[in-house]
Structure 1
């Protein structure tokens, strides 16, 4: 006959099973309590995203060199791409020559005016002298008429020189504006990063000709980082712009990132726009954008990775305290001693 299990041992085994079961149920209950959100806080799944920025020339030019690769972190105003400006530089040299020629004509017009003014002064002096001599009977009326004509002629020449000066001044301004325009085009052919970001795509290579607006690079703008979550209509209705928020990512759920609500979609998604019944309206989902503070994004710019999935939390009741699992927050600034 097989050995029977002693009664005391059987009781001990049953007791152990009960203890383990109670412990397991207690652990599951504790975990569910940890994950449960208090009234006044809502949540939704999402992923870290950022605005995309294209780096492109303003006019058709050939790519001379690209100074970055995909994945590189770039700073605002950093030179990323240089386009070939050989033709533009030739046009600039021609424009600068036109400026020099116009300035020479301007100088000649200015000198002519000085000369005409001197001649007018001399003609006026001679006219007065002849008038005096005519009064004394030492000059003839004919000589007086000649002097008057000389004054009128020199004054007419001055008016002509002044008109030439005005024209020469305008020519200089036009020539300078043309040269400045070409210089601006040359400057624009050096493509700089408009934001602090990361190179997502390298769309061109040296030697390619890009059309106006044709992208050379696509950047992820790390100054504008956010997570979009979707909330049902009854929860989204309580969310206000500027509401306090938290973001956690899947690979580090024990730490949260402070954020704020920057956008709540006025339109529902996932269901038809025209919904009549209450049961259908409750299925509507609204897009809510949780924005990271720019200061925080700037500090952790090298660690930020777009596409990382996580959870976004929003306070719909400002008086509600954040639960324990969301109180370990990444600071925007290092703590000061």
Structure 2
């Protein structure tokens, strides 16, 4: 039996190796990812909501109580603005408020005094009314007696003068009642005016106090300090940033899916996140946002050929409770992969089973 020349054997072996290599390359390029049509995937980066801590009013930064990287809790004092001018304005507003309160007390006292004067004037009216009634009766008797020549003409004239004097006194006392009543009305108007002035003064105090409160810059959520934008001693305009925070309760990954897959995504769908820096951990998340319009994906996300296709932006948010349990490990900017379950009935493969406490 003749054996083939050694050279032909080597060529045959090389040909077989080449075919195997080509097949392996083709298989690597075309092999399925093992996830099937029920699970979509896309790459993205961890992101979080950023909050700028800014001053409401212009002024000088007096003190900053946190450093970059510090964790802050809701209500924690982060920085103070210089409030010496506001402190002076508050004292002035409080003094004005006290003056208005004193004016109100004076107005109430004036009302009480005018009411007493009116009551006294009304008593005098009753007295003058009684005196006038007696004087009229005396005059009527004198007039009858004078017709009989039982009294002198002088007596009749005196009784007539007494009656007329009583009428004048009654008119004068009634005028005093009217004057007292007018004074009471004026005093009550002063009470209303003083009360309005108090309301305005209280509003001024509240405004200055609100500005003082706003000068104490506090955190309103669980967060981490990312940047100190300003330093103590700097003078900032109204709205000037002092700190930049990362909201540790709102961490998510944004990725892109083609139209054919995005149309099957619903809010709340299960997502699994795997970060390049820690591929051994699978992080659970849920879809919290689906764009309502398609766009070309950013250059940093997909290849040039894939950018030619319209994609939908998807956001997968991590459970805030899970974030609180792993605050020290929460970092933004890390790249990774997002795997999204398009079919709620599908099962996650073993490689995407959650292996962090939730």
Same fold flag (TM > 0.5)? yes
Shift of 1:294: 2.1
| Residue 13 (structure 1) aligns with | none
- Which one of 334, 338, 353 corresponds to residue 308 of structure 1? 334
Deviation at 1:119?
1.4
What residue number does 1:91 align with? 89
* Residues in 2 aligned to 1:299 and 1:64: alpha-carbon distance in whole angstroms: 34
Task: Supply the distance in 1 between the matched residues of 2:306 and 2:80 (Cα, whole angstroms).
Answer: 55
CA contact (8 A) 2:267 2:288 kept: yes
Instruction: Give the root-mean-square deviation of aligned CA atoms.
Output: 2.4
Question: How far apart in 2 are the matches of 1:212 and 1:244?
Answer: 43
Q: Give the structure-1-normalised TM-score.
A: 0.83
- Give the greater-gyration-radius structure (CA): 2
User: How far 1:254 moved relative to its partner?
Assistant: 3.0
Question: 1:120 is paired with a residue of what secondary structure?
Answer: helix
Match of 2:106 among 105, 108, 126: 108
Q: Distance in 1 between matches of 2:252 and 2:38?
A: 22
**Conserved in 2, the CA contact under 8 Å of 1:52 and 1:218?**
yes
1:152 paired with 2:178, answer yes
Once the 2 structures are TM-superposed, how far is the Cα of residue 282 of structure 1 from its aligned partner?
7.8
Write 1 or 2 for the structure with the bigger share of helix.
Answer: 2
Corresponding residue to 2:79 among 75, 78, 81:
81
Instruction: Name the SS for the 2:111 alignment partner.
Output: helix
Q: Distance in 2 between matches of 1:291 and 1:271?
A: 20
Measured after TM superposition, the shift of residue 122 of structure 1 is 1.7
Structure 2's unaligned 5+ residue stretches are 1-19, 137-162, 299-304
Inter-CA distance 280–217: structure 2 relative to 1 (3 Å threshold): closer
TM-score (norm 2): 0.78
CA distance, structure 2, for counterparts of residue 78 and residue 50 of structure 1: 20
* Number of equivalenced pairs: 298
Q: Which residue of 174, 180, 187 corresponds with 2:206? A: 180
1:175-210: CA deviation from partner (whole Å, max 9, x where unpaired)? 111111111111101101122111111111111011
**Paired position in structure 2 for 1:167:** 193
Q: 2:220 matched to 1:205?
A: no
Structure 1: unaligned runs, 5 residues or longer:
1-20, 273-278, 333-337
